[in-house]
Amino acid sequence: MKIKDLRATPVTVPLEAPLRHANGCHWGRFVRTIVEIETDNGLVGLGEMGGGGESNDVAFRALKSSLLGQDPARLEELRLRIANPTASLYNNRTQILAAIEFACLDLLGQAWGAPVSELLGGRLRDRIPFASYLFFRYAHPKTGAGEVRTLDQLVAHARRLKSLHGFSSHKLKAGVFPPHYELECYRALAAAFPEDRLRIDPNCTWPADWGIRFGRAIEDLNNDYFEDPVFGMEGMRRVRERVKIPLATNTVVVNFEQLAANILKPAVDVVLLDTTFWGGIRPCVKAANVCETFQLDIGVHSSGELGIQLATMLHLGAVVPNLPYAADAHYHELADDVIEGGKMKYEGGAIAVPASPGLGVRLDRKKVAEYHELYKRLGSYPYDRDPLRPDWAPTIPNERWADPADSRIPQIPQ
């Protein structure tokens, strides 16, 4: 089997409402690039990566000549061809490598009649539990609905998601409003769901003293972990020394050098593995195996996926033993997907690991065309800008918080 063609198609898919986060906002939609690798025996493997448009298009075009004629089974050869450690100093292609690895694994699974989880050692679980992943949200610019800003709105939103999808673990995406307000929000969730588990992630925006104060103020709750309260290994280590909750990161341990550093001098207890950030599913499995040896736990991280990347997260979650926590996904925030059959379903807070060969998802060509057209109309959006605070820029640590009393609706094209 040889690679015959490589295609990258940017799409934008609507969200229920704009999602606010510490670095800015998802402006009512996600922008993703769908990657297709076609082989000489007529198979098409699927990959996905964040962002879209010209830069991704150019990057994939540039790689095409070195991938044509290659065997998708030779994944280590492809890794070194695309992103060897020293060439990567000049061309950071980790996320591109990830999208190509997804597509190659999908091809191998189809060719050999096995789901990707079987290629990776075989599944230990058939369903992956997910957390509710609660964002503060602006109201939808067209409908005016969907705002999450006040304590009551946040708890009502969590109740709705729990009743729709069955979540029993809740993650608050924080770092938007002043920390004392977000502490009230987190404690309101704890009071509303006394049987459920909780986690909070302010995306490294707090100074170390607030990380410690906040951590100590929630030690009595049913926490899964405390995710990236501050930036940097040393900052995390300071918080970890003073707070009795496991610390988790998807920020300071995102490659093997950092994983080694964290093992030699621990700063975090839970490594949240992102199939995109780490360059594919296989490096995540390898990292999980290293973590297992050193008795560190892992989580499955979400960087804003459509169904293809969600499938990679499900196959990863299926094969790693040291996964005691519900996975994260932005997926339930999406209004639609580009895969056949529409969005995957949550049942009892979990999604079934696809059982058909490869990643187990196929493209709905009509949807891809529709959301490619929408991308052409709307283009990309600035992830690190807040539509209602044009003069604001995210700083780490931050002190210029959004105002929880501000109920304006951003007028952004949808």
Binding site for Mg ion (CB under 5 A): 201, 250
Residue closer to Mg ion (CB basis): 103 or 300:
300
The three-state secondary structure class of 115 is: strand
Shortest Å distance, C-beta 201 to Mg ion: 4
Residue 19 and residue 333 in contact, taking contact as beta carbons nearer than 8 Å? yes
Among residues 157, 171, 301, 330, the one annotated as catalytic is: 301
**Single-letter residue type at 409:** I
How many Å apart are CA 196 and CA 219, to the nearest integer? Answer: 15
Shortest Å distance, C-beta 198 to Mg ion: 15
Shortest Å distance, C-beta 277 to Mg ion: 11
How many Å apart are CA 308 and CA 30, to the nearest integer? Answer: 14
**Single-letter residue type at 406:** D
How many Å apart are CA 312 and CA 276, to the nearest integer? Answer: 9
Residue closer to Mg ion (CB basis): 101 or 227:
227
Residue closer to Mg ion (CB basis): 12 or 249:
249
Contacts 24+ apart (CB under 8 A), 341-348: 343/307, 344/307, 344/310, 346/130, 346/164, 346/165, 346/166, 346/167, 347/127, 347/166, 348/127, 348/166
**Whether 372 is catalytic:** no
Residue closer to Mg ion (CB basis): 21 or 140:
21
Shortest Å distance, C-beta 299 to Mg ion: 9
Non-local CB neighbours of 324 within 8 Å, separated by 6+ positions: 297
Among residues 173, 315, 330, 367, the one annotated as catalytic is: 173
**Whether 301 is catalytic:** yes
Residue 249's CB: how many other CB atoms inside 10 A?
Answer: 25
Specify the DSSP element, H or E, that contains 109: helix 94-112
Shortest Å distance, C-beta 319 to Mg ion: 22
Residue closer to Mg ion (CB basis): 36 or 201:
201
How many Å apart are CA 157 and CA 135, to the nearest integer? Answer: 9
Mind telling me the catalytic residues? Answer: 173, 301
